[in-house]
Chains A and B, each alone.
Chain A
Amino acid sequence: MNLATLISVDSIISGVEPADKWELLDMMVDSMSTSSAVRHSGIPQERILDAVVKREHSNNTGVGNGYAFPHARIPGLKGLAVGMAFLQKPLNYESMDQVPVNIVCMILAPDKNPTMALKVMAQVVRLFSDQRLKENILKVRDNRTIFNILLEAGASSDIPIMARDIMNSPLLDVRRDTPIYEVIQLMASKHLSALPVVDEHGNIEGHITGARLFQLGMPEFMTRLKGVSFICEFEPFEKYFYEKSNSLAGEVMTSDFCAMSTVATLLEIVYALTTRNYPMIYVLEGNTLVGMIDQGTVLEQIINF
């Protein structure tokens, strides 16, 4: 299915300068009210806006690299509705990587077909990975012309979902010589389950997981005991943590991380996360770290769409 067939000229917004993302969402829902899926289902615009805003409050849809995908599942919607906004002046969307967005794609999905919406998201990201196309389309202020560009690009949304479509930008990484207490602070402040350790070229060398950090405070012999509840007064963790606090990331990291290419399939990703129990998948382009996927990412983007 061509992406352009899901979008009408009316549901494209360009040349606008909204004050904040809430105003932009309002404008986009308004523009999409004329799409056939919304029109035929007869759902009031306020209800759609409520659903989109509620979703945005529960989880920021700014995925990084200047893209945002506000979305919602709308019960009773007759088909998929897609709207796009191209902002010449990037808008602060409070994205994970703090990069202001200039391409926003709103997807309203019926209750029963969330995968289709994900494929649309993937297609949009892939389409605009062509920097020239992205720059050209951001210069245009006429919606009809934008629509024609999308049509000509011939982007199909009937393609498998790959790692590059669902990965998050690598928010943080550390070097081998980063003190471990800094690593702990970073992981705690950003609620990360794992953090990559990279060299000066951005090549991943290992990673530090939350479980590994807990192991620092848990002496090995304790893991061999069948239980510890019989001991009421003894907490060696602080001592063990203290002993390890001067360690460097390179000394604590493990090399049993899972790395995949950007074209790894969703099946490979879910298999690695569930069957092989990897806490994080590092997505590489060549040897360079370009994205990260954890269970939360998959749940958020696929199951909990």
Chain B
Amino acid sequence: MYLFIVIICCLTFILISASGLINKTPVAMLGACLVMLFGAIADHTLLIPVDLNVVFMLMGVMIIGDILADTGVFEWFAIASAKKMHGNGMLTVTALMVIAAVSSALLSTPVTLVYLIPVTILLAQILDLPVKPVLAMQAYFAGLGGSLTLVGSPVNFMTGLFFNISFLEVLREMILPVTFIGSVWLILIWIFKGRSLVVSTGNREHIMKSLPEKAITDRKTLKRALIPVSVTLMVLIFGTSWFGRGLEGVILLFGALVTGFLCRFKITPLLHKVNWSVIMFYGSVCILVGGLEAGTLLPGVGEYIFKYSGGDFKWLPLAVLCGTALLAVFVENIALTVLMLPLIQLIAVRFQVTDIRPVLWALMLGIMLGGSISLYGSAANFALARLAKRNKYKISGTKFCAGGFPLAFIGLMIAAAWLYLKYIDK
């Protein structure tokens, strides 16, 4: 009976979040409450899966992102690069995609897209570029860049912290496949979209007359923020040898708070910079999945995978890559990650493998590639769809998926080849 309720709650949540019709946070919260109400007496361990380190990391990224965004730095990067490219459509869009990817790697994909979308629409309007494809391309690259680091996407946060993987390890492993995928995507976009990105001389003039230095609206705060943000990043990258692993969330939140105080923010405005809806969503999803674990569904699935594979771990990374990529198109990415992490842990124990990391790289790449073409599956793309719609650019979920499908498919092929060559065929 208990398992039945948990499965109904999870399925309802998955269906509603995939439809994109209503806000998924209250749905997840209601589901979590139901699971707790029906299961709390039998099993008080339901709250354990909520990792405070992940919550701290989400908070830290949001606070730092918002402090920097308030200074106008995103607008500066966008307009300065557009001017540097002399308003050339293809080069400007390329610059916007690279900015999105790099910023996502440092500040996470959802934070980056929220701040880059407005200035991207502005530039696309000034240059008379097709707004919807430009936004979609930016979203694909933001997702790709986000998979490069531990703080780049919620999927990486949770995976890294769950399995104790350091920032540097993620960066070292992901840099090759991500850079390769990004380069191939760029070439494909230049070939197939180049014609639609031609800009008239008049519109290029508008960009050449712009004054990027005026985009920075708060120089004082930017100067004050740069040092603590850089130090935080350095500590994240190299600090695990000093502080030990698994403290990345604490380091990031500490850095964010220090940055905030140095920039003369009081604690209440700093906490207002946190998107509590995302935090509550994460907590609720953890409880929902915790319910599945308690209901012995996940151990059953783990056992099934073991039997079906005949105990051969070798091909598991490829299976996870393709399986999660497919699931990520339909299932909310944070929820999918929360579901997959304990499952992978169970599998690691059952297969008796000492190094589970190839599966984790496959998980990160799979969810990123599948999620990047799903408008409602990833929080970042959902934010993109909402902001675009408010500006009369209604992006259809199927068109977004269809447009990104070739890119995701090629990305999947590259990722599979990388996993095969590096971990399977060694």
Closest to B125 in A: A236
A232 with B75: CB separation less than 8 A: no
Residue A20 CB within 8 A of the other chain = no
Measured between C-beta atoms, what is the minimum distance from B171 to chain A in Å?
30
What total of A-B pairs shows CB separation below 8 Å?
66
Interface positions, chain B 110-127, Cβ under 8 Å from A, are 117-119, 121-122, 125-126
Contacts of B390 in A (CB 8 A): 220-221
Interface residue stretch chosen among A3-11, A184-192, A222-230: A222-230
- Given known contacts A220-B391, A221-B391, A222-B122, is B205 in contact with A233 (CB within 8 Å)? yes
Contacts of A234 in B (CB 8 A): 122, 125-126, 206
B211 with A230: CB separation less than 8 A: yes
Measured between C-beta atoms, what is the minimum distance from A278 to chain B in Å?
23
Closest to A231 in B: B210
| Interface of chain B: mostly helix, strand, loop or mixed | helix
B215 with A230: CB separation less than 8 A: yes
A221 with B121: CB separation less than 8 A: yes
Give Cα A236–Cα B127 distance, bound, in whole angstroms.
12
Residue B212 CB within 8 A of the other chain = yes
B118 with A222: CB separation less than 8 A: yes
A221 with B212: CB separation less than 8 A: no
Contacts of B71 in A (CB 8 A): 226
Contact with A along B198-235 (1 / 0, CB 8 A): 00000001100111111101100000000000000000
Interface positions, chain A 217-271, Cβ under 8 Å from B, are 219-222, 224-227, 229-234, 236
Give Cα A221–Cα B69 distance, bound, in whole angstroms.
14
Query: Interface extent on B, as a size class?
Result: 20 to 34
Q: Which of the residues A219, A230, A236 comes within 8 Å of B75, measured between beta carbons?
A: A230
Give Cα A268–Cα B125 distance, bound, in whole angstroms.
45
Give Cα A226–Cα B72 distance, bound, in whole angstroms.
5
A226 with B75: CB separation less than 8 A: yes
Contacts of A227 in B (CB 8 A): 72, 75, 214-215, 217
Give Cα A99–Cα B126 distance, bound, in whole angstroms.
52
Measured between C-beta atoms, what is the minimum distance from A244 to chain B in Å?
11
B122 with A225: CB separation less than 8 A: yes
Count A interface residues, CB 8 Å.
15
Contacts of B303 in A (CB 8 A): none
Closest to A224 in B: B118
Q: Which of the residues B74, B126, B387 comes within 8 Å of A221, measured between beta carbons?
A: B387
Contacts of A222 in B (CB 8 A): 118, 122
A219 with B391: CB separation less than 8 A: yes
Give Cα A167–Cα B387 distance, bound, in whole angstroms.
41
Residue B70 CB within 8 A of the other chain = yes
Measured between C-beta atoms, what is the minimum distance from B205 to chain A in Å?
7
- Given known contacts A220-B390, A225-B75, is B118 in contact with A231 (CB within 8 Å)? no
Give Cα A232–Cα B83 distance, bound, in whole angstroms.
13
Contacts of A236 in B (CB 8 A): 125
B117 with A233: CB separation less than 8 A: no
Measured between C-beta atoms, what is the minimum distance from A234 to chain B in Å?
5
Give Cα A227–Cα B121 distance, bound, in whole angstroms.
14
Contacts of A219 in B (CB 8 A): 121, 391-392
B217 with A226: CB separation less than 8 A: yes
B122 with A231: CB separation less than 8 A: yes
A230 with B70: CB separation less than 8 A: no
Measured between C-beta atoms, what is the minimum distance from A161 to chain B in Å?
36
Q: Which 9 residue pairs spanning A and B have beta carbons closest together?
A: A226-B72, A224-B118, A221-B118, A230-B215, A230-B214, A227-B217, A221-B121, A229-B214, A220-B390
Mark B residues whose CB is within 8 Å of A.
Answer: 69-72, 74-76, 79, 117-119, 121-122, 125-126, 205-206, 209-215, 217-218, 387, 390-392
**Can you add 18 more A-B contacts, CB < 8 Å, to A230-B79, A230-B214?**
A219-B391, A219-B392, A220-B387, A221-B117, A221-B118, A222-B118, A225-B122, A226-B70, A226-B71, A226-B217, A227-B215, A227-B217, A231-B79, A231-B122, A232-B206, A233-B205, A233-B210, A234-B125
